[in-house]
Amino acid sequence: MNHITNTDAAWIAFAVLFPVILYLVFSGYQTKQRMSVHKSVLDKFSRAEDFATFLQSPAGQRFVAELSGSETPARTVMSAIQRGIILVLSGGGLWWSGVKIQSTAEIATIGLLLLCVGIGILISAGVSYRLSRSWGLIEKHPNEDRTDLTRK
């Protein structure tokens, strides 16, 4: 049985941590931009009466829902699908590398674990989607743009 060398461990750490770091940086950037947009919307109101009128409108209610951080069921399902795909591909790559390239059981085991977690997340997302549809939380509109389903 081959043992993992320091070089192998460094590549495994890079392969696992690099996508996580990219995700964290991208999420932070997205949050910063979202907060900037919210601030600019709030700065446009010079009087409290204008702001109160805005909050009573459908756009104002969506604005408040976004500020509270509540996600729609469709967005939650899409996020789980994205995470599941990333884990399946990362795990599959590590498993394949451990079995075919490196012939090390440790790398293959880590890859298989990530692969199984990714498949579990994808199954969970599928079940969540079906339950959300059956409960009426996610509606399917055939003539509507698909990007609008995540913003309701």
Task: Tell me the torsion sign for CA atoms 49, 50, 53, 55.
Answer: negative
Q: Which domain holds residue 44?
A: 6-151
Cα angle vertex 109, ends 107, 114, to 5°? 95
Q: What is the pLDDT of residue 131?
A: 92
Q: What number is the average pLDDT over the span 22-34?
A: 83
Q: Is the model's pLDDT at 51 over the cut of 60?
A: yes
Amino acid 145: pLDDT: 52
Per the model's pLDDT, the better-predicted residue between 12 and 110 turns out to be 110
- Provide the whole-model pTM: 0.54
Amino acid 152: pLDDT? 45
Domain annotation covers residue 64: yes
The Cα–Cα gap between 140 and 143 comes to: 9
The number of domains in the chain is 1
Residue 1, domain member (yes or no): no
- Look at residue 74 in the predicted model and tell me its pLDDT: 85
